Structure 1
Amino acid sequence: MKKFIDENFLLNNKTAERLYHDFAKEMPIIDYHCHLPPAQIAADLKFANLTQIWLYGDHYKWRAMRTNGVDESYCTGDKPDYEKFAKWAETVPYTLRNPLYQWTHLELQRYFNVSEILNEKSAKRIYEECTAKLQTQEFSVRNLLRKMNVTLVCTTDDPADNLEFHQQLKSDGFEIPVLPAFRPDNAMNVDNHTIFNNYLQRLESAANISIDSFTSYLDALKARHDFFASNGCSVSDHGLEEMYAEEYDDIEIEAIFNTIRSGKELTELEKRKFKSAMLIQFAEWDNEKGWVQQYHLGALRNNNIRKFSELGPDTGWDSIGDFSHGKSLSKFFSTLDSNNHLTKTILYNLNPANNELMATMVGNFNDGSVAGKIQWGSAWWFLDQKDGMVKQINALSNMGLLSRFVGMLTDSRSFLSFPRHEYFRRILCNLFGEEIENGELPDDIEWVGKVIQDICFNNAKNYFNWQQIDKTAKVGEKVF
């Protein structure tokens, strides 16, 4: 029997062990999509205790605690921090076979060198030991990034954001680039005219442009797109239920914009047409600048209306949706491709029923101009666990080129989430190791090791063309 989370965790044969320890383990991390707060990195924040760094904002843990019968006051409420942690510690033993169980103990080991199992009995010891460490400079957020061998962070930012903290980090000379990503969801969400018009006030202020027409609206967004580029941005991101690809013309879109600016609601078709037009416009700008565009598709958000009204978004009331993606994706990409305006693109799906659809869709638009130009991104959100990762890797292997895959990302708000990369790398090495030992792949360790290193780091470095990485760490060399 293996020890729980030992050095060969998730590695089930000698070849997998060699691939991980000799090739994958020391590769640096490029976190090309996350939700880390740049303000906290700029301040080099030290968290006051383990609850604040581990439970604040973590809707994965909140959902588990609620399911275990824990009152909301211990999740998003005002209970003291240790009491919240104690409720999480009571919940952990009941998360067996949920990835939270392995993630929890992996994070305790990798950051705090704590190998004790977290439960009600060990809660106080673990809390006090980890909290004491968090109060030292070694555990400031910048040093946590260094500790995990992170070489670049790409945050998620609204067009109206002023990027002051990204500018501060650059001015400080922080050796790990923290770059913005352009996330214009609010700028195309016309489902509620009041929310949209309020957002346009923010956009006007940020762009210093009065928005009195659809043309000036585009001018303001383009000014922000240019501003982001001047601050090192080369990635856009969209969080959508589905891709929108309705037929429209310019006159229609101007009329739709005027309708919503006048405070009137739109029809469902008008909403879809406006969103379709904006997606094409953003994609055109991304192509002009040579950016990478990302589309996160398929989340059904804010299902619990009562709790959403009480607590707001991103508090754990979202699920997998069952949207239809094929025809709209094909039409959207064909529209851009026919004008040679399709830039590098990464698709992420949340419903595993769409795995093969995504794996084959990206192949339709890989035109040979760039290796892996159109990517199917890593298993996302509810799927970024062992089963979801294995299914994504297998589908991509069967229908595309896994060797050109840009690999894992955190998509996280937590500075303790970087062991997710290790988790992914172990799973990846185990899959290759099993097939080598079964005679399904040749025993060419050097070549397979190179492919694994590419998936872990090199492919992303080359795909995003982030030359800043060269200034932070050599491949396989830690910086902390």
Structure 2
Amino acid sequence: MSQSLAAHPDRLLPADPGTRSIARSLLERVQDLPIISPHGHVDAAVIEQNTPFPDPAALLVSPDHYVTRLIHADGVSMDQLHAGESQDSREVWRRFVEAWPLFEGTASGYWLRTQFEQVFKLGADLSGMSADASYDAISAKLVEPDFRPRQLFKDFNIEVLATTDDPLDNLASHKALTEDPTFNGRVLPTFRPDAYLNVAHPTWVANVERLIETAADGGRGYAGYIAALENRRRYFVDHGAVSADHGVRTPATLKLDAAEAEALFEKARSGEATAADRDAFEAHMMYQMARMSVDDGLVMTIHPGSYRNHHGPTFESFGADTGHDIPFAINYTEAIRPLLQDFGTAKDFHLVLFTLDETVFSRELAPLAGFYPSVYLGAPWWFLDAPDAMLRFRSAVTETAGFSRSSGFIDDTRAFCSIPARHDASRRIEASFLARLVAEHRVSEDRAHELILDIVDGSPRRVFKL
């Protein structure tokens, strides 16, 4: 069997020997620090109930749109990649192994290779094993008594893991974990109100009616809607939440007076809102979310710039999050200005701005974070949470905003077993970037050791008020 590349101690570190030596020293400083994951999509119930993981295909292939999208691009139909009634899991896994060469050079390939080596202990690259042998080896690991979410939470050295939750979720699993004396980690809920703010969402009207009925304390109409959102945010705060996350199409914000907002709200409820009305109402609600964050202390994170469900037939057959969300160009400077006019300098307000459009890193986001006390740079996300893109991010923003204005790494993953691989990759990239600055005599080595500690551990604690 050939040794996996994921076992090489210098993976992702600089090729130049002198710079690589500096990077090794920096990485050693942070390699064993606990994982702080302030934004992700792991289901809290999986950890609370210590649910066994399913078979290899259902765990690592079918639910991972990073994986299925590239195999689909090679001509494999989507229904052949989803384990279930029509597809045997072993057959899905065979198709994945056949496609494994497609992942060379990709971030997905790096994370998967690291999981195979570090988590599943395969001891060889997937290309050196047959599909059946690798399937059987992973399956054997999945049935081991210690290979359960709670033990892995401990083995992965996770200190904080934030989930992403519907505003009306009762957060029972979070409460149970908090009260469980046998569980030592922190699993925090995150308020995610997209389906209640975006009028274009297919269930917006039903969602809003349920929200008002459940949480408005007898209020009605737009006023009841606002009161219900405020009440549910407080419920999340009481259950440990530190942030509210917003997956919007664009970062547009708009300040409307109550009468204007109410008129748009009623048009939307009656189905009479135009596309422009829908956009205006969502932009206004982003302004309202900022106002609420100033009041209740929840960190506000914004994830814009994805054209969701780009391929209609795939969405109709397989639903959302199946690999065809595509980035597009966005504008932050003008779009976010109405919000920042009123809240950009508000005491203790934290606003973390993410993007899938690399062009705004140096042109807009770094200058914004370099002036407004509230603004922090969200880590490279989704298509950009890859080694070269993370290096480009550091190069684009550091000269304007320094290191103190960034959020720390965000893994943003549903794939629980990939969390340590993703954080390890980020730490190696940060060590590589700082090592270059040291080698170029732009930062002292002593200062670089301080900086990497703050980037990896201090920044996420500070930005997300942990």
TM-score of the two chains, using structure 1 as the length reference: 0.90
Q: 1:440 to 1:223 in 2, by over 3 A?
A: closer
Which of residues 179, 184, 202 in structure 2 aligns to 1:175? 184
Q: Secondary structure at the match of 2:195?
A: helix
Alignment deviations for residues 48-92 of structure 1 (CA, whole Å, 9 cap, x no partner): 322222123100001011122222222235311111111111111
For 1:179 and 1:319, the matched residues in 2 are separated by: 29
- Does the 8 A contact of 2:297 with 2:348 survive in 1? no
Q: How does 1:312-391 map to 2 (within 5 A)?
A: 312-337=319-344, 340=346, 343-356=349-362, 357-366=364-373, 373-391=374-392
Local SS of the residue matching 1:375? strand
Larger RCO, structure (CA 8 Å, separation 6 or more): 1
Q: CA deviation at 1:375?
A: 0.8
CA contact (8 A) 2:191 2:244 kept: yes
1:456 counterpart residue number: 456
Where 2:416 maps in the other structure, the secondary structure is coil
Letter of the 2:312 counterpart: I
Q: Which residue of 1 aligns with 2:263?
A: 255
CA contact (8 A) 1:235 1:293 kept: yes
Q: 2:76 aligns with which of 49, 70, 75?
A: 70
Alignment root-mean-square deviation, CA: 2.0
Paired residue for 2:205, among 174, 197, 200?
Answer: 197
SS at match of 2:161: strand
Partners of 2:35 and 2:160 within 8 A in 1: yes
| Higher alpha-carbon deviation: 354-363 or 121-130 | 121-130
Q: Name the structure 1 match of 2:242.
A: 234
Alignment-derived partner of residue 477 in structure 1: none
**3-state SS of the aligned residue for 2:352?**
strand
Partner of 2:57: 51
**Deviation, structure 1 residue 168:** 1.6
CA-to-aligned-CA distance 1:258-306 (integer Å, 9 cap, x gap)? 2222x22312332232112211222112111222110112111111011
SS of aligned partner of 2:127: coil
Query: Which residue in 2 is equivalent to 1:425?
Result: 427
Identity %: 26
Conserved? CA contact 1:303–1:319, under 8 Å? yes
Task: Note the 1:50-449 alignment, pairs <5 A.
Answer: 50-76=56-82, 78-119=86-127, 121-173=129-181, 174-191=183-200, 195-204=203-212, 206-207=214-215, 209=217, 212-261=220-269, 263-337=270-344, 340=346, 343-356=349-362, 357-366=364-373, 373-418=374-419, 419-442=421-444, 444=445, 446-449=446-449
- Which secondary structure state, in structure 2, belongs to the residue aligned with residue 237 of structure 1? strand
Aligned to 1:478: none
Q: Contact 1:28–1:151 (CA<8 Å) still a contact in 2?
A: yes
Using the alignment, how far apart are the partners of 2:87 and 2:128 within structure 1? 17
Please give the per-residue CA displacement for 1:432-474, whole angstroms capped at 9, x wherever unaligned.
Answer: 22332343433x3x431121111111221233332xxxxxxxx
Per-residue CA distance 1:280-339 (angstroms, 9 max, x = gap): 22211211122211011211111101111221111111011123322011232113237x
Moved more, 210-219 or 78-87: 210-219
Query: How far did 1:208 drift?
Result: 6.7
CA drift of 1:355 comes to 1.4
- Cα 1:283–1:68, aligned 2, differ >3 Å: closer, same or farther? same
- The count of residues paired between Structure 1 and Structure 2 equals 453
| Alignment gaps of 5+ in structure 2 | 15-19
Relative distance call for 1:52 and 1:320 in structure 2 (3 A) is: same
What letter corresponds to residue 104 of structure 1 in structure 2?
A: L
Question: CA separation in 2, counterparts of 1:122 and 1:27?
Answer: 35
Task: Tell me if structure 2 keeps the 8 A contact 1:359–1:376.
Answer: yes
Query: TM-score scaled by structure 2?
Result: 0.92
Deviations 1:75-112 (A, max 9, x none): 23531111111111111112212222222111111112
The alpha-carbon deviation at position 341 of structure 1 amounts to 6.6
Write the distance in 1 (CA, Å) between the matches of 2:384 and 2:185. 28
Secondary structure of 1:346's partner?
strand
Match of 1:473 in 2: none
Work out whether residues 344 and 375 of structure 2, in 8 Å CA contact, stay in contact via their aligned partners in 1. Answer: no
8 Å contact from structure 1 (residues 31, 410) kept in 2:
yes
Q: Call closer, same or farther: CA 1:177–1:206 in 2, change over 3 Å.
A: farther
C-alpha separation in 2, matches of 1:87 and 1:279: 43
Cα deviation per residue 1:202-236 (whole Å; 9 max; x = unaligned)? 32454274563111111211211111111111211
Deviations 1:394-446 (A, max 9, x none): 1121111214533112100011121111001111111222332343433x3x4
Cα deviation, 1:181-200, whole Å, max 9, x if unaligned, reads 111111111125x6211112
Query: Match of 1:454, as an amino acid?
Result: D
